[in-house]
């Protein structure tokens, strides 16, 4: 398979749930010869959805990586493909995949156009500067409308889509596609599942429409290139198809436009042409900027690595999967070459690792490699101490690549092992799950003897529970899901003192510190250049050695640990700035422990004076409902303390955008079905933390007491 960097494409397929990502991926595997028969999501036989949960629910939970060959214009290319989940509870899977990809194919439902989760995925891709192209899928669906979906990409994503194809018919009449560059029609032979592509002239009744769209394509393409624009103004016909392709490629890589393809993966129409488009328009590893990082010894010193096999080795771990044959660590190699059996350094924790084996993955099958070069995505065996987001690099040329941001969990539940043997197994299982899934958290509550697990939503926790009970065979009792609240302060407090003094005969304990406490946000921290770990900024302004230097980190540890366990109701305290302004020490009795305690007491005192407030997670909810149920749905949202932000018409249905507290949304899907005779659908994702009404705060505090 091709090893030349310009012949590699690292791409992801991402979209809203049910837009057909996995079906598109299955077709790609079939046409590239990786699969000899087609897997179907609705039959539970999709290659990429190989987890039992995925097959039962017909959704993708884990992102799966695979490598496949594709021949385009007589040249062989290697496509590293990641199929990502669409469900919002697994947004972390999309996040970490986009971090290591060079390009993405955004799939849209031909009837629905841009949906709620499509927007989230699009924004994630923007944040990581991933060039995109669009595939309007399901053009065979009743009510599918190419022009509506195309316009929704402009209107709802603020993007610059450029159609390079147009469908021949839609719904049951979908027959093929028109290529607006070659101005030819393409039909896909259904006897061999669309593998044979037949090129014909455009049907007469479609010629005018095709010319209209080709004109739009040329107009938009020349805007991407000044030279072409000049020639276009002089003589439109002097511009060749290849020049348009080059302008589109340049614009796509610069994130100035997104080529739009169409078809139906389920009906085997348009997938091969989409693959050609991936080669034509998405960048190879050598066309994206050099990867950026920092020096592990000096985090302010910026470093970069070229996409080159001869440069020092660097790779980013983006996924860890526990496997019966040992953990598989998925990594994207950015620079250098890695030989199997070689030693690498994880500069994040300072540990050395051995990459004993290297595999090129095809969903759950694998092919062993002796070495791997820059630009590839592989799975490594033998890596023991590295988790998602860690860097692996040449021990003699260390670099820390930019880490990923993982969202905080918003929902938790208690989980208790039934026997002592289960307890031991559960502890190991939770460590394994945490390595695999960075958006999962667990902690043991000493007082209640319960383990609390936390995640991104009800479905997320349910899948984890099933993994523990069904896959890992551990017997556990599970509590009801609970909301993860946060604490904040409603005012400021200046000069709160924490004095820790203990005399027990012989050497005592003495620590004394004074702090200022004020509300603070991530934006303020960025503006002031302060670290904002766990949403807390700590600033030392002690002068004249009132507290010896060696004890200042102890005060910070005391403050952070106390904030983590909460002060009013046991929930983490966030969005604060603590400024250490003064203190006293004792030559003999002062110690690190004493100043930790002093920091703890000072924070408690400051919060009590400043006044605390409980914050609750607010979810962004998007509901699609037929008009006759609009009143029922909005009335129900109001009764859940929901705020309706916007209502829009989309064809025959109404789309409601609302913000609703998570605590009011448990079991909402079932209620919505009842309100709309099963015809309405909803999507929900975390939006922000906001203060709770005082009367409800008291209930939550009383329940937790």
Torsion of CA 610, 614, 615, 616, to 10 degrees: 180
Q: Are residues 118 and 159 in the same domain?
A: yes
Q: Domain end: 440, 462, 484, which one?
A: 484
Paired sense of beta strands 576-584 and 132-137, if any:
unpaired
Torsion of CA 372, 376, 377, 382, to 10 degrees: 20
Tell me whether residue 406 is in a domain. Answer: no
- Band of the pLDDT at 92, cuts 50, 70, 90? low
Average pLDDT of the residues in 516-525: 92
Whether this prediction's pTM lies above 0.75 is answered by no
pLDDT at residue 465 in the model: 86
Structure-token match 């005391």, residue found: 558
**What separation in angstroms does the CA of 408 have from each of 295, 306, 405, 548, 617?**
27, 33, 10, 35, 10
Phi, psi of 212, rounded to the nearest 5 degrees: -60, -45
Tell me whether residue 19 is in a domain. Answer: yes
Whether 495 and 516 have beta carbons less than 8 Å apart is answered as: yes
In this structure, the chain runs to a length of 705
Task: Give the span between the Cα atoms of 462 and 470, in whole angstroms.
Answer: 12
Whether 280 and 245 have beta carbons less than 8 Å apart is answered as: yes
pLDDT at residue 47 in the model: 38
Phi, psi of 394, rounded to the nearest 5 degrees: -65, 125
CATH code of residue 376: 2.40.30.10
Half-sphere exposure at residue 12, Cβ-oriented, CA atoms within 13 angstroms: 29
Which residues lie below 8 Å from residue 179, measured CB to CB, with a gap of 6+? 164, 165, 185, 186, 273
Whether 260 and 281 have beta carbons less than 8 Å apart is answered as: no
- The sign of the dihedral angle between the CA atoms of 349, 384, 93, 124 is positive
Of the listed ranges 97-106, 434-443, 692-701, the one predicted with least confidence: 434-443
Strand partners, 260: 134, 163
Q: Are residues 588 and 670 in the same domain?
A: no
Q: Are residues 259 and 315 in the same domain?
A: no
Paired sense of beta strands 8-15 and 75-83, if any:
parallel
Label residues 183-220 b or e (16+ Cβ within 10 Å = b): eebbbbeeeeebbebeeeebeeebeeebeebbeebbeb
pLDDT at residue 83 in the model: 62
Sheet (strand 197-200) strand order:
165-168, 176-179, 184-188, 197-200
Q: What percent of the chain stands above pLDDT 90? A: 42
Residue 578 sits at the vertex; the CA angle it makes with 574 and 584, to the nearest 5 degrees, is 140
Q: Are residues 41 and 55 in the same domain?
A: yes
Among 8-17, 19-28, 33-42, 495-504, top mean pLDDT goes to 495-504
Whether 111 and 143 have beta carbons less than 8 Å apart is answered as: yes
Query: Does residue 9 surpass a pLDDT of 90?
Result: yes
Tell me whether residue 16 is in a domain. Answer: yes
Q: Are residues 220 and 351 in the same domain?
A: no
Of the listed ranges 91-100, 189-198, 288-297, 432-441, the one predicted with least confidence: 91-100
CATH code of residue 174: 3.40.50.300
Query: Does residue 249 surpass a pLDDT of 60?
Result: yes
Q: Domain end: 610, 629, 660, which one?
A: 610
CATH code of residue 438: 3.30.70.870
Q: Are residues 503 and 472 in the same domain?
A: no
Q: Are residues 358 and 263 in the same domain?
A: no
**Six-digit token string for 216:** 């739009």
Q: Are residues 161 and 267 in the same domain?
A: yes
pLDDT at residue 653 in the model: 80
Task: Give the span between the Cα atoms of 407 and 619, in whole angstroms.
Answer: 14
Short-list 285, 327, 290, 322, CA closest to 305: 290
User: For 442-463, what is each residue's pLDDT tens digit?
Assistant: 887 766 677 888 887 777 788 8
Average pLDDT of the residues in 11-25: 76
CATH code of residue 694: 3.30.70.240
Label residues 597-629 b or e (16+ Cβ within 10 Å = b): bbbbbbbebbbeebebbbbbbbbbbbbbbeeeb
Q: What percent of the chain stands above pLDDT 70? A: 89
Of the listed ranges 362-366, 435-439, 509-513, the one predicted with least confidence: 362-366
Helix residue spans in 579-687 (DSSP H): 592-610, 630-639, 668-675
Q: Which structural domain, as residue segments, surrounds residue 352?
A: 291-401
Short-list 205, 86, 91, 183, CA closest to 137: 86
Per residue, what are the HEC states of 235-260?
CHHHCCHHHHHHHHHHHHHCCCCEEE
- Band of the pLDDT at 581, cuts 50, 70, 90? very high
Q: Are residues 202 and 146 in the same domain?
A: yes
Tell me whether residue 632 is in a domain. Answer: yes
Phi, psi of 311, rounded to the nearest 5 degrees: -75, 165
Radius of gyration of the chain measured on its C-alpha atoms: 28
Task: Give the span between the Cα atoms of 251 and 283, in whole angstroms.
Answer: 11
Tell me whether residue 629 is in a domain. Answer: yes
Average pLDDT of the residues in 494-509: 86
Short-list 63, 69, 149, CA closest to 113: 149
Whether 22 and 83 have beta carbons less than 8 Å apart is answered as: yes
Among 411-420, 613-622, 695-704, top mean pLDDT goes to 613-622
Number of domain units in the chain: 5
User: For 167-181, what is each residue's pLDDT tens digit?
Assistant: 999 988 999 999 999
Label residues 124-142 b or e (16+ Cβ within 10 Å = b): bbeeeebbbbbbbbbbbbe
Strand partners, 484: none
Q: Are residues 572 and 541 in the same domain?
A: yes
| Averaged pLDDT score across all residues of the chain | 85
Short-list 61, 50, 1, 102, CA closest to 363: 50
Structure-token match 């609390």, residue found: 452
Average pLDDT of the residues in 71-81: 88
Q: What one-character DSSP code corresponds to residue 572? A: P
Paired sense of beta strands 103-109 and 8-15, if any:
parallel
- Band of the pLDDT at 371, cuts 50, 70, 90? very high
Task: Give the span between the Cα atoms of 573 and 489, in whole angstroms.
Answer: 8
User: For 549-575, what is each residue's pLDDT tens digit?
Assistant: 999 999 999 999 999 888 888 889 999
Residue 121 sits at the vertex; the CA angle it makes with 246 and 333, to the nearest 5 degrees, is 65
CATH code of residue 602: 3.30.230.10
Tell me whether residue 205 is in a domain. Answer: yes
Among 38-52, 65-79, 114-128, 320-334, top mean pLDDT goes to 65-79
pLDDT at residue 53 in the model: 42
**Six-digit token string for 446:** 């000493």
Tell me whether residue 20 is in a domain. Answer: yes
pLDDT at residue 40 in the model: 42
Short-list 509, 476, 471, 475, CA closest to 598: 509
Task: Give the span between the Cα atoms of 278 and 8, in whole angstroms.
Answer: 10
Task: Give the span between the Cα atoms of 359 and 612, in whole angstroms.
Answer: 52
Q: Domain end: 610, 640, 668, which one?
A: 610
Q: Are residues 194 and 269 in the same domain?
A: yes
Q: Are residues 130 and 267 in the same domain?
A: yes
Query: Does residue 96 surpass a pLDDT of 70?
Result: no
Tell me whether residue 175 is in a domain. Answer: yes
Structure-token match 């979209």, residue found: 15
């Amino acid at each position: 398979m091709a090893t030349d960097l310009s012949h590699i494409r690292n791409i992801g397929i991402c979209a809203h749930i049910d837009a057909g990502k996995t079906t598109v991926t299955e077709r790609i595997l079939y046409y590239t010869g990786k699969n000899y028969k087609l897997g179907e999501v609705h039959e539970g036989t999709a290659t990429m959805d190989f987890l039992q949960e995925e097959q039962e629910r017909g959704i993708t939970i884990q992102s799966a990586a695979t490598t496949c060959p594709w021949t385009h214009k007589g040249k062989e290319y290697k496509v590293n493909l990641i199929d990502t989940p669409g469900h919002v509870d697994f947004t972390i899977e999309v996040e970490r995949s986009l971090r290591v990809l060079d390009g993405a194919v955004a799939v849209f439902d031909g009837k629905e156009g841009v949906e709620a989760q499509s927007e989230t995925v699009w924004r994630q891709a923007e944040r990581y500067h991933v060039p995109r192209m669009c595939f309007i899928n399901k053009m065979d669906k009743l009510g599918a409308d190419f022009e509506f979906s195309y316009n929704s990409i402009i209107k709802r994503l603020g993007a610059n889509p450029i159609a390079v194809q147009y469908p021949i018919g839609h719904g049951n009449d979908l027959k093929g596609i028109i290529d607006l560059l070659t101005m030819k029609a393409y039909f896909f032979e259904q006897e061999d599942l669309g593998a044979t592509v037949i090129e014909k002239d455009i049907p007469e009744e479609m010629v005018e429409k095709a010319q209209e769209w080709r004109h739009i394509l040329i107009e938009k393409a020349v805007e991407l290139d000044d030279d072409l624009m000049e020639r276009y103004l002089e003589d439109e016909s002097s511009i060749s198809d290849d020049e348009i392709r080059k302008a589109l490629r340049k614009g796509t890589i610069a994130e100035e436009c997104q080529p739009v393809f169409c078809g139906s993966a389920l009906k085997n129409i348009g997938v091969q042409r989409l693959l050609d488009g991936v080669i034509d328009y998405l960048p190879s590893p050598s066309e994206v900027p050099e990867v950026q990082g920092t020096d592990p010894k000096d985090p302010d010193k910026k470093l970069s690595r070229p996409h080159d096999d001869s440069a020092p080795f660097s790779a980013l771990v983006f996924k860890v999967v526990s496997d019966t044959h040992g953990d598989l660590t998925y990594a994207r190699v950015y620079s250098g070459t890695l030989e199997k059996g070689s030693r690498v350094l994880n500069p994040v924790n300072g540990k050395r690792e051995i990459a004993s084996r290297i595999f090129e993955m095809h969903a759950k099958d694998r092919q062993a490699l002796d070495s791997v070069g820059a630009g590839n995505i592989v799975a490594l065996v033998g890596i023991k101490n590295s988790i998602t987001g860690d860097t692996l690099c040449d021990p003699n040329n260390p670099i820390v690549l930019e880490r990923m941001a993982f969202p905080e969990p918003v929902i938790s539940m208690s989980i208790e092992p039934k026997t002592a043997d289960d307890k031991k197994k559960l502890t190991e299982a939770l460590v394994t799950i945490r390595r695999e899934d960075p958006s999962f958290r667990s902690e043991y509550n000493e007082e209640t003897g319960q383990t609390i697990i936390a995640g991104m939503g009800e479905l997320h926790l349910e899948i984890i529970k099933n993994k523990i009970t069904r896959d890992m065979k551990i017997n556990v009792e599970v509590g009801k899901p609970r909301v993860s609240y946060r604490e904040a302060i409603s005012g400021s407090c200046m000069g709160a003192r924490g004095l820790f003094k203990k005399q027990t005969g012989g050497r005592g304990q003495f620590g004394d510190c004074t702090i200022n406490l004020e509300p603070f946000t991530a934006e303020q921290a960025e503006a002031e250049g302060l670290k904002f770990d766990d949403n807390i900024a700590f600033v030392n302004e002690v002068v004249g050695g009132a507290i010896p230097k060696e004890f200042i980190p102890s005060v910070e540890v005391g403050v952070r640990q106390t904030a983590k366990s909460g002060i009013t109701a046991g929930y983490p305290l966030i969005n604060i700035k603590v400024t250490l302004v003064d203190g006293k020490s004792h030559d003999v009795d002062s110690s690190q422990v004493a100043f930790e305690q002093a920091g703890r007491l000072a924070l408690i005192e400051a919060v009590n004076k400043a006044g605390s407030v409980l914050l609750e997670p607010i979810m962004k909810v998007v509901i699609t409902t037929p008009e006759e149920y609009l009143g029922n749905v909005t009335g129900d949202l109001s009764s859940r303390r929901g705020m309706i932000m916007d209502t829009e018409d989309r064809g025959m249905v109404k789309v409601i955008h609302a913000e609703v507290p998570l605590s009011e949304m448990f079991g909402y899907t079932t209620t919505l079905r009842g309100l709309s005779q099963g015809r309405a659908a909803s999507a929900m994702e975390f939006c922000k933390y906001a203060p709770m009404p005082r009367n409800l705060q008291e209930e939550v505090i009383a329940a937790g007491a």
